[in-house]
Amino acid sequence: PPVLDGFYHRRPLGDGDHRHGLLPKAYFICDTRTHKSTRLPDPGLPILHPGNACLASISRDAYLVADLHPTVVGADHATLLLYSSASGAWSNLELNYPPRDRPWGGNGVVVWPKEIWWVDLSYGFLALDLSVAHRELRFVPLPVGRELPPGTGGRDLEKSRCVGLNFGELRYVEIDERDGVGPIVSMWTLLDEDAGTWSFDCEASFKAIWADEGYKATMLPPEIPTVALIHPEHPGDVAYFFLHSRLFGVHLGQCRVLEWQFFEMLHPPMAYHSSRFVRLWKNIPAFRC
């Protein structure tokens, strides 16, 4: 399948003070089967934040790229750039912008078959239904008590917070420090997007995880890891973490390490220990006759 991605610096969107000379210049589509990349035509607007770009739909013969451009702080609208591989051209769609007075963090995108959800790990989500004629952005908050002031955390926020799909349900994971308990990791599942309500699934103390025999088998020290991903298909409450040169999965409800492996890159830079650099897809082997 094709993958859209980019390497970039980070600033909150909508702050109106970007130096375009430091911004990325182009979008590339990479076909993971052929290992070939293709540069898309320039959309006519600067790429303010690749974290807001995504493959909105993929079929055997075509794909759609979407990139959300919030305007300056205080404006009530945003511009959605859409690229269709069928037409080979970009189009612009003006949308409402519910946060209005708050710049958007741009921490990635979650894509459903007919919806796109843009992520701000300090604030919440902007959801867009592609199947309706009148398209507008809807704001969905993070779980109660998890919102942070604008601009909080920067890149480090993607080391301690993560969102992802599990059997089609949106989940949120956060690493936090708690007085008297120490570091913990918690997981929530979105129940009602219209009401913005979440269910609290579980929490795990890292002290309990470090005491697990599976963790001891990794030979890792008892240190707080960074969050990498939420397992998309495991029936339990499973999240994965980075520490040193290892990636390991933990069943949070049981404080049990399920599996671990070394990075392909030996001693990767600490900046790479982040959910920001994780992309998930299922590799289905091709059938041969």
pLDDT digits (tens, 9 = 90+) for 169-204: 999 999 999 888 899 999 999 999 999 999 999 999
Cα–Cα distance, 116 to 235 (Å, whole number): 24
Residues 141 and 278 in one domain: no
Please check whether residues 241 and 273 belong to one and the same domain.
yes
**How many domains does the chain contain in total?**
2
More confident residue, 268 or 137: 137
Cβ contact 136:114 at 8 Å: no
Please check whether residues 184 and 116 belong to one and the same domain: no
Is there a single domain that holds both residue 102 and residue 135? yes
Determine, yes or no, domain membership for 220. Answer: yes
Domain with 75 in it: 1-152
Predicted confidence (pLDDT) per residue in 97-114, tens digit: 999 888 898 898 998 888
Last residue of a domain, one of 136, 152, 168: 152
DSSP line for 107-134: --EEE-SSEEEEEETTTEEEEEETTSSS
Residue at 289 is within a domain: no
Q: What was the pLDDT predicted at 33? A: 76
Residues 9 and 109 in one domain: yes
| pLDDT, the chain, mean | 85
Do 42 and 117 lie in one domain? The reply is: yes
* Amino acid, res. 225: P
End of a domain among 111, 131, 152? 152
Asked whether residue 78 carries a pLDDT value surpassing 90, the answer given is: yes
* 232 and 169 within one domain: yes
Phi/psi of residue 225, nearest 5 degrees: -85, -175
* Average pLDDT of span 244-269: 88
Answer with the one of 120, 152, 184 that is the final residue of a domain.
152
Together in a domain, 25 and 168: no
Whether residue 169 sits in one domain with residue 49? no
Contact 15, 107 (CB under 8 A): no
The SS3 call for residue 282 is coil
